[in-house]
Amino acid sequence: AVPYANDVARWGSANGPRAWLAAGLAEALAARGHTVESPQWIDLPREKRSRDSIVNLGYLAARTSDATLAALQRGAFPIVLEGNCTQCVGPTGGVARADGSAGMIWYDAHGDMHTMATTSTGLLGGLPFGVCMGWDLDDWRERGGLHQPVDPAAAALIGASDLDPEEEHFLATHPIARLDAKDMMTGGGPKTAALLASRAGRAAGWYLHYDLDVSGTDAAPGGLTPAPFWPPRAELVDSVAAATRAVRLRCLGLASYDPAMDPEGKGAQLGIDIARAVVDNL
């Protein structure tokens, strides 16, 4: 678990990892016959903290990459509970270190593929998919062990409904697979399988990233950047199951859940259901 939103602890979605565990994620997986290890916590000690957030994120990425690699080497399937999307770099790097190359399946209402030259907000959470593909901030990516960037042909963006013009341009000029929210209102599973069928061999191992904002405010209230619209919850769960079957999936990341904004715990249950959809289909 990486309980940081960017490099900030104990605030907003940084509390998501603890909320998923408190809601019974481990117990739910064990009840389905899976062996579940005790969680490993990744932290940023005060003496390691820099004034530079990218340096801090690189430190977290390095530690997460090491933990992901160690889990894979002992035959486990790591589920990385992430404060927000910036924590994806480490697990992707861990998969690449274990297998030689990593592909990414990115479930998100947004593209998260900006660079520092294209972002209009400076929000670091809008960059990590692009960082993993080698478009900017190489020092962050390399600290996470992702020395060879993700090939855009081994990348997929699923469920997006809020893309900036610059991200539309990136998608138009790179071979990233794409299945938008508007096209997932029905048939999410079969459409996902078809999308990934020709891509599976493009990477030796794959990382699946699920930002809860892709599910919308009904299923996951309180997101920092809510989607304008979203596919039905069941279609997204079916899509994740299909994606797991379509590629050699090696790691799951769950991100961006603020339990303080969700008194009914809907997002906590959604995270559990997504994790079950993955591990039941490995």
Alpha helices in the chain (DSSP H): 16-22, 25-31, 53-73, 89-99, 128-132, 138-143, 165-173, 188-196, 216-219, 233-246, 266-279
pTM for this model (two decimals): 0.98
pLDDT score of 74: 98
- R_g of the chain, CA atoms, integer Å: 17
pLDDT score of 206: 99
CB 232 within 8 A of CB 165: no
Q: Beta-carbon neighbour count of residue 224 at 10 Å?
A: 14
What distance lies between CA 141 and its chain's CA centroid? 15
Give, as one character, the DSSP assignment of residue 181: G
Q: Domains of the chain, with CATH numbers? A: 4-279 (3.40.800.10)
pLDDT score of 162: 96
pLDDT score of 226: 87
Which portions of the chain are predicted below pLDDT 70? Answer: none
**In angstroms, rounded to a whole number, what is the distance separating the alpha carbons of residues 118 and 55?**
21
